[in-house]
Structure 1
Amino acid sequence: MEVVNAFMSWVFRNRIGQIERFMEDPEEVQQGIFEELIEAGKETAFGKKYGFSKIRSYEDFARQVPIHTYEDLQPYIEQTMRGEQGILWPGKIEWFSKSSGTTSSRSKFIPVSQESLEDCHFKGGKDMLSLYLNNYPESKLFTGKTLSIGGSLSQNPFRKDNEQQVGDVSAVIMHNLPLWVQFARTPSLEIALMSEWEEKIEKMAREVMEENVVSISGVPTWTIVLLRRILELKGAKNILEVWPNLEVFFHGAVAFGPYREVFRELIPSDKMRYMETYNASEGFFGIQNDREETDMLLMLDYGIFYEFIPMEDWESSSPRVLPLSEVELGKNYALLISTNAGLWRYKIGDTVKFTQIKPYKIKISGRTKHFINAFGEEVIVENAEQAIEKAAGDTDSRIVNFTAAPVYFNGAKEKGRHEWIIEFSRMPEDREAFAARLDEHLREVNSDYDAKRYRDLALTAPLIHFVEEGLFEAWMRQRGKLGGQNKVPRLSNDRSYIDEILQLMEKKA
C-alpha cells in the first residue's frame, strides 16, 4: 500500500501546475471559459433565443442575456427532464441534482451534463485531493479508504420509465464515479445510495466500522449521526479507537464552526485535519488551499463563468453586475453563474466575500435571503411563512411575529433542532398540536428539512416559545430599530437575534 500511496500522491500533485496557472492569470482563464460556453450554447434553444451567435464580448453577453432565477429557467429544465435535448446545453443531459429552497416548489432540479460531471464535479474532487496532498506530502491518504456519505436517487418525475435520474448532487456524483474511485471508497454503492435513512445509517455503520478509513467526505450533520452510531456498535470512546489511521475530514454544505467542538470530542487528536469545500448542486466552486486559513480558492477552470452582484444592488430591477476583474475585497456579493450544464446568468442564491485577489479567495457569507442551513436543511423564509400560516389556520390561532434559529449540537451525544419564538394575538388552545402542525407543514414544503427530521436522525422536533403580543416591539425598540423599514428577521443561521430576545424574555418574566 505504501507504493500505491506514493504513486497516487504523485499523480494528484501533478495537477498543481494547472491550478497555479489560473491563480496567476485568472481573468485570462475566465475569458477562455466564457468563449467556450458561448460557442457551445449557440445552437441550443436558449442560445438562439438570446442571439448567442452575435455575442462577441462580455459586454454583448451582459446586454443580451437577462439574469435568471430558477423559476425563469424552470420551463427549459422541465423540457429537458421530459427528454428533449439541445434546450439549455448541446450535449445530452440525463441527470438532475435535486435541491430545496425555491419559493414556488418543494424541490428544484438542476441539470447535470456530462461536461459538468467530468470538468466540474469530478475535477473538483481531484483538486481537493491535489491541494490536500500538496499541503501534506507526508499523507497516507491512499493506504486506506474514503468514507463518503451521500444522498439518494429517485425517479425523474417527468418521465414514465423507471430510471433513477434525479437525486442529491452527492448521489449523482457517486453513481457516476469511475470504477477505480469506487474501489477506494466505502460503503458499497448499494448502501450509500439507499433512500431509507434509518436503515442506511445502520448498514453504513456496520459496514464501514470494519474498514481502514483514512478520510471522510460529507456533510457534518450526517457524519456526526453516523459516527455516533459506530461508537455505540463498537463500544468505543472515540473514533480513533475504530479508525486509528483517520487523518482528514473533507466537509462542506454548512458552516463548520458550530460543529468543531463536537468533532473534537468524537476525534480527539490535534493531528486530525479539516478541509473546507464549496460544492453545490449547481457546481463545484471553491476549495480550501491553505493549511490554516479556511477561506477557499475560487476554482476558475471548471466550465463556470462567474459574475457578481453587489448586495446593495440585489433588490434593484437593474442591478450592477461585475465580472471577476472588478470585485473588491471584503464586499458582499451575490453569486451569478453560467455553466457547462446550461445555467445561464443564474442566481444561485449564495453570497460570498473576497478575502484575497489574485489569487481570488472567498468565504461564503450567507444567502440572498434570510435562511437556516445549520444542518443542510436549507430552510428559507418562504418555507417558514407557508408552514406557520398553515399551522395557525389548523389551530385557529393568530400570529403577530416570529423568528427562528438553530440549536446546534451540544456535545457528542446531542442532536440539533430549530428554536422558534412566536408572538400570538390569539394563542392556540393546544400548543402541542400547533408545534406538530408547524413541523409537519415545514416538512411538506422543504424536502431537505424533511430528510433531516426523518425519525429524529439529525434534527429533533422544534422547540417553540409561545409569547404574548409586545415582545418583538420591545426588542426592536431596545435595538433602536422600531418603525420605518425595520423588520423582525424571520430566520437566522446563528443565534445572535434569538439569544437577545430570550434574554429580554427572562428580564420580563
Structure 2
Amino acid sequence: MAILGNIIKGVINLRNSISSETDHVDNQKETFKFLLEKAKHTEFGQHFEFSKILKSEVPYKEFKSTIPYFSYDKIHNDWWHKLHEGKDNVTWPGHPSYFALSSGTTGKTSKRIPVTDDMIEAIKNAGIKQVLAMENFDLPADFFEKEIMMLGSSTNLEKNNEHVEGEISGISASRIPFWFRGFYKPGEEISKIDDWDERVQKIAEHAKKWDIGALSGIPSWMELMMEKVIDYHQVDTIHDIWPNLRVYTSGGVAFGPYEKSFKRLTGKPVEVVDTYLASEGFIALQTRPETDAMQLLTDNGIFFEFVPFQPEYINPDGSLKPDSPSISIEEVKLNQDYVLLVSTVSGAWRYSIGDTIQFTDIAKAEIKITGRTKFFLNTVGSQLSVNKMDAAMKRLEDQFDIDISEYTICAKRGEDDEFYHYWYLGTSDTSLDSSKVAEALDEALQAANKNYKVARTKALKGVKVHLIKPKVFYDWNARNKKKGGQVKMERVMNEDKFQEWEKFVREQ
C-alpha cells in the first residue's frame, strides 16, 4: 500500500474540504491595500504619494490617475537601475535577493527583474496551492510518491555584486525545500549544468533510475528532452521509460500547438495541467480538470489590472499608450482580450508583462493566455493575435494530419511590391505541397477573423508558407543563446529580424 501517498492525499483532501469559495474581488482589494501600505515609505511610494492614495475615498481611481503604466524599459530606466547601484527601498522595502533574467522572446539583452524574499514566499505558496489542487484531478494515492521532473533553466545562479541572478525557473528550483528534494529530478547536480544539451544528455543517461510521475516545464523543451530520452534508450514512447507518468504541468505558453506532437511521444494518457509562472511572479494555475483555463492567484502578492486589447491602445513595440483605459477584476467581461498589468511584492507597479488574456469564468477568476502584445500582427489591418494563429495551426494539423509545434510569421512586401504574410511552419512532414497548405491557412484565418478577411480583399495580397523541421526553430534559439528554460519562440517578427531568420534557415 502507498502509505505515504495516502497520507499526503488525505491531507490534501482535508485542506480542500475545509476551504470555502474564494471571493476574488475582495482578495484583490486586500492585496491592493497591502501592497500600498507596505511600499508607502519606499522612494517610489513617497514619490507617488501612496499614503494619500490610501486615504482617498476612491483609492483605485486615485492610483490609476497618479501612477503611469510601466514597461520594463521605463521602470528600469526610472527606478530599478538604482537597485544595481546598491540603493535600498526603491520600489519595495529592502533590497531584492535575486534578479530574474528574462530576455523574453524578442530581446537580445536580458532584462533583470527584481525577485524579493516576499516574491519567493509567494511563489512557494502558489506551489502549495498547486499541490492542493491535484486532489481535484482524481489521481491515485501512489502518484504522490512518484518523482517530479522539473525541466527549467540551470540552477547554477550567478553572483552579481550583492545579489544572485538567473532565470525564474532556476531561482525557484534552487529554493526547493529540503523535504521535497527526494522527489525532485533531475536533482541538484544535473540541474546546475549550464549547457542545455549536456544537461539533457545526463537526464537521458539517468532516466531509467527514476520513477517519474509528473513533468513540469515549457512544452517545446520538454518535447526535446523526451525525444532525447526515447532515442537514447531506443524505445517507442516515454512511458516505456517512465510507466507511471500521469501529469504534465505546462507553463508560459498555450499548450494547444504542442498537443499533437506531445501525444506522439507518450504511450498512455497524461493529464495536462497549465500554470502561469512569469519572471514577475506566479500569475495563475489550473485548479480543476473540467477546463484548461487557469485561476488567477488573487491573494498572493499580485494586484491585477486589465487594459482592453485594442490596436488604438498599443504602440508598435507592444507597450501601452499612456491614455489607455484600465479596469480592475470587478469590471472585466468574458471573452474580451485584455493586456495584463501587475503590481507585485517585488516592486513592479502597473507593469505590463506583455501578455494578453481572456476571462473564461469571472466568478472563478479563470483565464487563458491569448497571446503577446508584441506578437499582434496588424499590418494592413489584419489584426491577427496569437490565439487566432494557434487556432489556424490546429485546423491545419487536423486537415493535413500533421503536427505543427512551432511557427513564425512576418508581414512584408513581396517582389511584386504587394503585402503578403510569410509563414514558416515547423512540422516533421515537410513533403506536403506548401501552396495547398498556404491556401488552407488563408481560408482558416478568413473564417476565424473578419478583420483578416477584409484585409485580404484590400491591401493583403496573400499567404506564403514554408515547411521546415521544428529543429530549425530550436537551433535558432540556441544561436541566440536562448535554449531551454523559459525560452519561447517569437511568433511574429519584424522585417529586420525576419531577414536574419530567413538567412539562418537557408544556411541549415
TM-score, normalised via structure 1 length: 0.73
The 3 A distance-change label for structure 1 pair 80 and 15 is farther
Q: Which residue of 1 aligns with 2:7?
A: 7
Q: Distance in 2 between matches of 1:276 and 1:448?
A: 28
2:428: which partner in 1?
410
Corresponding residue of 2:86: 83
| Superposition deviation, residue 96 in structure 1 | 1.2
Q: Does 1:451 align with 2:482?
A: yes
Query: In the alignment, is residue 297 of structure 1 matched against residue 295 of structure 2?
Result: yes
Name the aligned partner's letter for residue 235 of structure 1. Answer: Q
Contact 2:148 2:216 (8 Å CA) reproduced: yes
CA distance in 1 between partners of 2:425 and 2:348 (Å): 35
CA gap 1:81/1:175 in 2 versus in 1, 3 angstroms: farther
Q: Is 2:110 the counterpart of 1:130?
A: no
CA 1:458 to 1:303, structure 2 compared with 1: closer, same or farther past 3 Å?
Answer: closer
Describe the SS at the equivalent of 1:279: strand
1:225 & 1:458 partners in 2: Cα distance? 13
Q: Specify which of 92, 97, 100 is matched with residue 97 of structure 1.
A: 100
Which SS does the other structure have where 2:69 is aligned?
Answer: coil
Mapped pair 1:41 → 2:39: yes
Structure 2 residue corresponding to 1:51, chosen from 35, 49, 73: 49
Q: Does 1:212 align with 2:217?
A: no
Equivalent position to 2:326, from 313, 321, 328: 321
Cα distance, 1:321 vs. partner? Answer: 0.7
Structure 1 alignment gaps of length 5 or more: 389-396, 412-418, 421-438, 463-488, 493-509
Identity across the alignment (%): 29
Residue identity matched to 1:94 = S
Q: Indicate if the aligned counterparts of 1:258 and 1:408 stay in contact, CA closer than 8 A.
A: no
Query: What does residue range 286-365 of structure 1 map to in structure 2 within 5 Å?
Result: 286-312=284-310, 314-315=313-314, 316-365=321-370
Answering whether residue 94 of structure 2 is matched by residue 63 of structure 1, we say no
Q: Quickly say closer, same or farther: Cα 1:267–1:491, change in 2 above 3 A.
A: farther
Paired position in structure 1 for 2:463: none
Q: Secondary structure at the match of 2:231?
A: helix
For residue 165 of structure 2, give the secondary structure of its aligned residue in structure 1. Answer: strand
Gaps of 5+ in 2: 315-320, 377-385, 391-403, 430-436, 439-471, 496-508
Deviation at 1:448? 9.4
Q: Pick closer, same or farther for the CA change 1:71–1:222 going to 2, 3 Å.
A: same
SS of the residue 2:352 aligns to: strand
Mapped partners of 1:59, 1:206: distance in 2:
57
Asked whether the equivalents of residues 207 and 241 of structure 2 are also in contact (C-alpha less than 8 Å), the reply is: no
Partner of 2:503: none
Q: Distance in 2 between matches of 1:226 and 1:295?
A: 26
TM-score between both structures, scaled by the size of structure 2: 0.73
Distance 1:346 1:458 in 2: 20
Please list, as runs of the form range in 1=range in 2, the aligned pairs for 1:436-447 lying within 5 A after superposition.
Answer: none
Tell me which residue corresponds to 1:169. Answer: 168
Q: 1:314 to 1:97 in 2, by over 3 A?
A: same
**In 2, distance between residues paired with 1:5 and 1:48?**
50
When structure 1 is superposed on structure 2, of 94-103 and 10-19 the one drifting more is 10-19
Equivalents in 1 of 2:428, 2:405: separation in Å? 17
Quickly say closer, same or farther: Cα 1:19–1:173, change in 2 above 3 A: farther
Distance change (3 Å), C-alpha of 1:231 and 1:154: closer
In the alignment, which residue of structure 2 is the partner of 1:481? none
Residue deviations 1:226-282 (CA, integer Å, cap 9, x gap): 111111222211111111111111111222112212222211223x21111111111
Counterpart position of 1:471: none
Deviations 1:314-359 (A, max 9, x none): 2343111101100111111100110011000101110111111111
Query: Please, what is the CA RMSD of the aligned residues?
Result: 3.7
* C-alpha contact 1:146 1:213 (8 A) present in aligned 2: yes
Q: Following the alignment from structure 1 to structure 2, what is the Cα–Cα distance between the partners of residues 348 and 491?
A: 20
Is the CA contact (8 Å cut-off) linking 2:407 and 2:424 kept in structure 1?
no
